[in-house]
Amino acid sequence: MSLRWQAALLDPLAPAGSALVHCRQQFLVDANGLLFPRDWLRRLDLPLLSEQGIGYFEGEPVYLFELDVPAEVPGAQWQSLRQLMMLHGEDRDLFRMLGFAAQIGTWASQHRFCGSCGSRMEQRPGERAMHCPACEVQHYPRLSPSMIVLVTREDEVLLARSPRFAPGVYSTLAGYVEPGESVEECVVREVREEVGVEIHTPRYMASQGWPFPHSLMLGFHAEYAGGVIVPQPEEIEDARWFSIHDLPPLPATQSIARYLIELYLSRRLGRPEPVLPG
Ligand SMILES: NC(=O)c1ccc[n+]([C@@H]2O[C@H](COP(=O)([O-])OP(=O)(O)OC[C@H]3O[C@@H](n4cnc5c(N)ncnc54)[C@H](O)[C@@H]3O)[C@@H](O)[C@H]2O)c1
Ligand SMILES: [Mg+2]
Ligand SMILES: [Zn+2]
C-alpha cells in the first residue's frame, strides 16, 4: 500500500488544500508541478464543471478541478496523461494519483446529466456517486474490465502492433470484456478475432487499473494451441511470433503488458521476477 498517495472522499466544501486541474485527459502543469493552491485557483474564475475531493498526497488534502475547456492559465501548460506517464511514470505514487484523478474527472464530466430522464445530476454527499434527483438513478465511477494476454509457444511470444502504437513497438493482445462473457471466454475470443490463433488454458496472472480511459486490465498467460497468424485488418497492423532472445521494442515499464512479457522471460531464462506495476 502506498504511503504518499491515498485516495479518499474529501468534502469539496472544506477550505484550503491543493488541487489538480484536469480537462479531457490533460493536466495543468507549471514550474512548481501539478498541484496548485486551491484558493489561488478559485480566484482565476476557471470554467469549472465539477470539483471533487480525491485524497491525500504526502498527507495533504488534494482536490480535483474538472474543467469544461482547457483554459489558458499564465505560466502554465496542459500536458496529456500519456506524456506525464512517460515523464513521471517511475514515480508510482504520483502516477497513481494522476490516473485516479483523470478517471474521476472524466466520469464526473460525462455524468452531469441523467441518461435516463435528462435532469441535471447532483454529487451525492458521503459517496463517490452522481445522483438524479428526479428519477433516483445513481452513477458510480466507470470501469471497463479488459483482458490482456501473453500467448506463448515455448521460446516464442505472440506480440502485435496496433496502428496507435509508437513506431516499432509490439505488445500483448488486449480487449474489452463483453456483457455475459467470462474473462476467460473473452481471452479466447479476442485472440481468435485479433490474430486468428487458438489458445488453451488461459491462466490469470495479475491485474492493473489503467486510466486510458477507464480500464481494469486483467492479465493472463495462455499457451498456443493451433492456427496461423491472420491479423484483424482494422485493429492489428502486424502480429508475429518473436523469439525471447530477439524481441522488438516493448511497451512502457509501467504497463501490465510489459510485466507479463518480463515475467515470462524471467521464468524461461531463470532471471529475477519483475515487480508488478501499481
Ligand atoms: N496497461 C496495459 O498494459 C495495456 C496494454 C494494451 C491495452 N491496454 C488497454 O486495454 C483496453 C482494451 O484494449 P483494446 O483497445 O485493444 O480493446 P479492443 O480490442 O476491445 O478494441 C478496442 C475497440 O473496442 C471498442 N470499445 C471502446 N471502449 C469499449 C468498452 N468500454 N467496451 C467495449 N468496447 C469498447 C471501440 O470500438 C475500440 O476501438 C484499452 O483501454 C487499452 O488502453 C492496456
Ligand atoms: Mg485489442
Ligand atoms: Zn433521471
pLDDT digit string, tens, across residues 2-30: 579 999 999 988 989 999 999 999 999 99
Which pLDDT value is given to residue 277? 87
The amino acid present at 70, given as its one-letter code, is P
Sign of CA dihedral 260, 264, 266, 272: positive
> SS3 of 276, please?
coil
- Please choose, from the candidates 32, 91, 132, the residue with its C-alpha nearest in 3D space to the C-alpha of residue 254: 91
Residue 189 backbone dihedrals phi, psi, to 5 degrees: -65, -50
Please report which residue ranges of 111-206 form alpha helices under DSSP H. Answer: 183-195
This prediction has a pTM of 0.93
Q: Is residue 159 within 8 Å of residue 149, measured between CB atoms?
A: no
- Please choose, from the candidates 20, 23, 18, the residue with its C-alpha nearest in 3D space to the C-alpha of residue 71: 23
Q: Is residue 131 within 8 Å of residue 13, measured between CB atoms?
A: no
The tens digit of pLDDT for each residue in 212-256 reads 999 999 999 999 999 999 999 999 999 999 999 999 999 999 999
Q: Is residue 203 within 8 Å of residue 180, measured between CB atoms?
A: no
Complex ipTM value:
0.96
Query: Grid coordinates in use for 174?
Result: 488486449
Cα 135 to middle of ligand 1, angstroms = 32
- Ligand 1 pocket residue status of 209, Cβ below 6 Å: no
Is pLDDT larger for residue 91 or for residue 2? 91
- Pocket mutation for ligand 1, best pick of 25, 172, 176 (most atoms within 8 Å of C-beta): 176
> SS3 of 69, please?
coil
3-state secondary structure 163-206: CCCCCCCCECEEEECCCCCCHHHHHHHHHHHHHCCEEEEEEEEE
The bridge status of strand 18-23 relative to strand 60-67 is parallel
Residue 135, marked binder: yes
